[in-house]
Amino acid sequence: MEEITPNSSWAIPGVPHRATGDDQSSNGAIDSLREQLIQLVSPLIADSLSDEEFTQTLRSVAQLKNAVDAALVTLAHETNKRTVLPSLSQSLPPKYACSGDAHYFQTISQLSRTESKQFLNLAKALGQEVLLQGHVRPSAHVHLTEAFRSGLVTRGSARMISQTLSGAKGASAEHVAYAEKCLVEAASGTDLGSGNPIPPACHENAIQTMCSTWDHVLNPDGSEPSEAELPRRRFLTLGTAKDGLVPLKGLLEPQTAAILGQTLHSLTNPKQTTTDTHPDETDALPAGDDRTPGNLRHDAFAALLNLLSRSDQLPSMGGSPVTVMIQTTVEDLQDPEGYGWMQSHHGNPLPVGATTVHQGACAGAIQHISMNRKGKLISQHTTQRGFTSQQRRAITVRDGGCVIPGCTIPSNWCEVHHVLPHADGGHTKTSNGVLLCWYHHRTLSSSGWLIRMKGGVPQTKAPPWTNAPRRWSTHRHPQRKSRPPG
């Protein structure tokens, strides 16, 4: 295979090329190519290109990116090879204080852990498999490997094609080879027999559709993993926060999914009846709830986790129950537009808005910690604690569930809300606490619902958008709404 170097075939229009001597190292050649790319991003050069030159430049840079990805996959393969060695002292990652191949690749390449694993997995799929004692097994998909290393196939297409071919467990070798030929030709825009171009090459979305079609052809009865294989494939992963949300990805065993599904359904089923409104209220208050089914499942899942975190069956962490730490200042805690920092699931600080800060202060404890400008701890003391289990049981007996009229979330799934916030002089007493579900607790300030305590009993006033009478209504426990006969 021809070695990829910054020669005339890879020259970028409008960018001067620096000549390299025969004795220049591979690192020097890479540095030269990198300098050309840096010059290309200059607006002065990009503006000077004609439409034809600009289109060719975009195509060349995209192909160059494919070649860079292929080079990284090759290096990922070498990383795996240098990790799987008979002696730990000979292994590469420990020499750089890394725990394994993914940690090493992430540290050196500065890519995310997810991308690092993708490169390593693709290297295992396309490269020679490194076995113990240094033995190797040849690549099972030679055409795909060659096209990818030549920069003709994108990393995403290579990954999808590899997964499709590897998943064809019951297909014959001839059928798999023909599928590989068709998919590689479509992704590269090149005839594998003659080497002539057959443009246009298909983008990744089209390759995804083709791979799905070939998967049905190669596995007409569907892939049925064995009972022993299923447990190895199960996983659950929390991703990195993006745009204020954290992605959740995983594969659940059917029994686990059934339990979770039924639990979420029990909380999202609108026909359940746990709490109700007072008889003198309108029988059917408009819910005004525009949550999608996905929103409802998220909120039910959050309520499930909150319930579980309150359970004494969970193991403690450092001698304390499961705790989520939110840091803020006294000024931000009192400011409706304030913000804070929450310890994320990765342990890193994550900025959060005023709603999250105030909800945390309402449901949990506030601990004042003073530090000097050098970061030394000066003092700490706790000024507010969450409702105790005894207080919660008493409030549950009184409220029975979420006090918002029409909400059917039962008491076990609710949180205790401070009617008068601590910042306004409110205390953590049963006469200042009401039950709210996860959703209504977090949207109380924006939904328009009003809550007050009168004689130790919660009252609510509906917002204008419900078209309900604008009057205070006393909340009653659903089981005490009517007297028993006799």
Per-residue pLDDT tens for 187-229? 999 988 888 888 788 999 999 999 999 988 888 766 555 566 6
Angstrom distance (rounded) from CA 113 to CA 486: 69
Which of 86-90, 166-170, 339-343, 445-449 shows the lowest per-residue confidence on average (mean pLDDT)?
A: 86-90
| Residue 234 forms part of a structural domain | no
Last residue of a domain, one of 363, 386, 409: 386
Count of domains forming the chain: 3
Helix and strand numbers, DSSP H then E, in the chain: 17, 14
User: In this structure, are 82 and 213 located in the same domain?
Assistant: yes
| Residue 244 forms part of a structural domain | no
User: In this structure, are 335 and 396 located in the same domain?
Assistant: no
The answer to whether 80 and 128 are in contact (CB under 8 A) is no
| Residue 236 forms part of a structural domain | no
Last residue of a domain, one of 175, 200, 218: 218
Angstrom distance (rounded) from CA 411 to CA 272: 13
User: In this structure, are 365 and 394 located in the same domain?
Assistant: no
For the cut 50, the answer to whether the pLDDT of residue 161 exceeds it is: yes
| Residue 226 forms part of a structural domain | no
pLDDT at 184: 94
DSSP 320: B
- Tokens, residue 377: 């701890």
The gap between the terminal CA atoms of the chain, to the nearest Å, is 94
| Residue 439 forms part of a structural domain | yes
| Range(s) of the domain holding residue 457 | 253-282+290-312+387-486
- Tokens, residue 275: 């709490």
Angstrom distance (rounded) from CA 427 to CA 300: 28
Q: What are phi and psi of 250, to 5 degrees?
A: 175, 175
- Tokens, residue 268: 């999202």
CA angle 245, 120, 229 (to 5 degrees): 80
User: In this structure, are 49 and 190 located in the same domain?
Assistant: yes
| Residue 108 forms part of a structural domain | yes
User: In this structure, are 39 and 124 located in the same domain?
Assistant: yes
Give CA separation, 27 vs 48, 60, 79, 464, in Å.
Answer: 30, 21, 18, 68
User: In this structure, are 28 and 152 located in the same domain?
Assistant: yes
Last residue of a domain, one of 364, 386, 408: 386
Query: What tens digit of pLDDT does each residue of 74-86 get?
Result: 899 888 888 876 5
Query: What tens digit of pLDDT does each residue of 407-457 get?
Result: 888 888 888 888 988 667 788 889 999 999 888 888 888 888 899 999 889
27-44 residues labelled b (16+ CB within 10 A) or e (exposed)? eebeebbeebeeebeeee
pLDDT at 13: 39
User: In this structure, are 66 and 84 located in the same domain?
Assistant: yes
Residue, of 379 and 120, whose pLDDT is higher: 120
The residue type found at 408 is T
| Residue 181 forms part of a structural domain | yes
| Residue 480 forms part of a structural domain | yes
User: In this structure, are 92 and 140 located in the same domain?
Assistant: yes
User: In this structure, are 81 and 161 located in the same domain?
Assistant: yes
User: In this structure, are 295 and 327 located in the same domain?
Assistant: no
Confidence of residue 275 (pLDDT cuts 50, 70, 90): very low
Q: Would the pTM count as exceeding 0.85?
A: no
Partner residues linked to 320 by β-bridges: 317
237-272 residues labelled b (16+ CB within 10 A) or e (exposed)? eeeebeeeeeeeeeeeeeeeeeeeeeebeebbeeee
For the cut 60, the answer to whether the pLDDT of residue 166 exceeds it is: yes
Closest by alpha carbon to 45, among 63, 57, 33? 57
